[in-house]
Structure 1
């Protein structure tokens, strides 16, 4: 039996080149911080982690009718559990929830990550609602054999990981994160 597969629409894009050829022409430069916060939340080691670069997992797509580009991440197959083979039926390992590593942060991204864009990304992640996560996890096809215990563990991992990243990522991405109520 072939397991269900999911695909997204095809886009005509150019892979990340390691430099700022396309970064300097982004329509939304703040999307760089959004991507790094997202990749860190989902522990996406398959894009960029610990010096290992998989530029094919990041595309720059020309914005319609413009001379600017959009950042389009692709391939999220290595999320949350990393390269571990099986998801546990009990609670996810604490090391997964409290993983302090930053993922998806290509060296060329550094000049594009600032306190304002990190704050925006963290605010978006902080809006993740457990009920929504439960709904998404419950939509996993039965053919995958992902039982109720594993589903609950995945929900706890996704939500716990989001809370951890929201509370810790700013200081790991910017030297001077914005402090609410403090005016510079």
Structure 2
């Protein structure tokens, strides 16, 4: 379940993990991958998807990032694939990169049929909701997601265009949020959150092809959504991280502080970095 809201000051927030899909059983392995986090595509009783596990070559921090960023992406209104935690697995799943066996609880992200970002406007020009472009950039900047697009790094595979059901339009669907929050660091630090992270001035997720689709109105709407973030919700999200992932209370507090303080920073600064003439609240044009 995503946030139910009108973004005019009132919102009901609920966790999204397991709300749309609830896989209870892994039926078979489909394909393993040798990428940095060694995911495995599987079939479950709730459909196909991708698993990530503790013991992966990048450490447990990527699982925390996947779960927390997934919740925040769903809350802000992005169309992320349904995701869940699988607490039991009766078959052996061996990660290709390091030969380690996957161990529950596993992070599961549903497979979607989409086309990766092509670097142009083939699909951008056919989006059902063009405002999602600005929303994605605001989100990626908020969570410091360097692994989609940042200076010197372009990973178009982490952004899909999915055909909207019954339409000739497409939806913007971001995937893979294992590279959020901590940048190149190996793990989350103890509280408080580092100022270099909170006040990181970089803009993330802004592919060059996005520029014509980012305007003052869509940026204002995205910033307005982010301005409604409540700390109690962030605490609930962070507290949903499984204890088996080794995410201690001090690191959890640091992440809560980072998410909330960075949201305030982005709300106050990003408009001028995305558009030349940001809309001024209350000004009638």
TM-score grouping bracket, smaller chain normalisation: over 0.9
Higher relative contact order by CA 8 Å / sep ≥ 6: 1 or 2? 1
Q: Provide the C-alpha distance between the structure 1 equivalents of 2:142 and 2:210, rounded to a whole number of angstroms.
A: 17
CA contact (8 A) 1:17 1:55 kept: yes
Q: Encode CA deviations 1:34-78: one digit per residue, 9 max, x unaligned.
A: 000000000000000014210000000000011000000000001
Q: CA deviation at 1:148?
A: 1.2
2:112 matched residue in structure 1: 11
- The match for 2:238 is 137
1:125, 1:162 within 8 Å by CA — same for their partners in 2? yes
Runs of 4+ in 1 over 4 A off after TM superposition: none
Q: What 5-or-longer segments of structure 1 have no aligned partner?
A: none
Match of 2:259 in 1: 158
The answer to whether 1:91 aligns with 2:192 is yes
Moved more, 46-55 or 101-110: 46-55
Within 5 Å, give how 1:15-94 maps onto structure 2: 15-94=116-195
SS in structure 1 at match of 2:279 = coil
8 Å Cα contact 1:37-1:121 kept in structure 2: yes
For residue 4 of structure 1, report the CA deviation from its aligned partner. 2.7
Size of the alignment, in residue pairs?
Answer: 184
TM-score of the superposition, structure 2-length normalised?
0.63
Aligned to 1:178: 279
DSSP 3-state at the match of 2:204: coil
Between the aligned partners of 1:112 and 1:13, the Cα distance in structure 2 is 20
Checking the alignment, whether the CA contact within 8 Å between 1:44 and 1:76 is kept in structure 2 is: yes
Instruction: Please name the residue that 2:224 is paired with.
Output: 123
Deviation at 1:96, TM superposition (A): 0.2
Where structure 2 has 5 or more consecutive residues not aligned to the other structure, the ranges are 1-54, 56-102
Superposition RMSD on alpha carbons, in Å? 1.1
State the TM-score, normalized to the length of structure 1.
Answer: 0.97
Distance (whole Å) between structure 2 residues aligned to residue 174 and residue 35 of structure 1: 15
Q: Find the aligned partners of 2:200 and 2:223 in 1 and give their Cα distance.
A: 17
Aligned to 1:45, what secondary structure does the other structure show?
Answer: coil
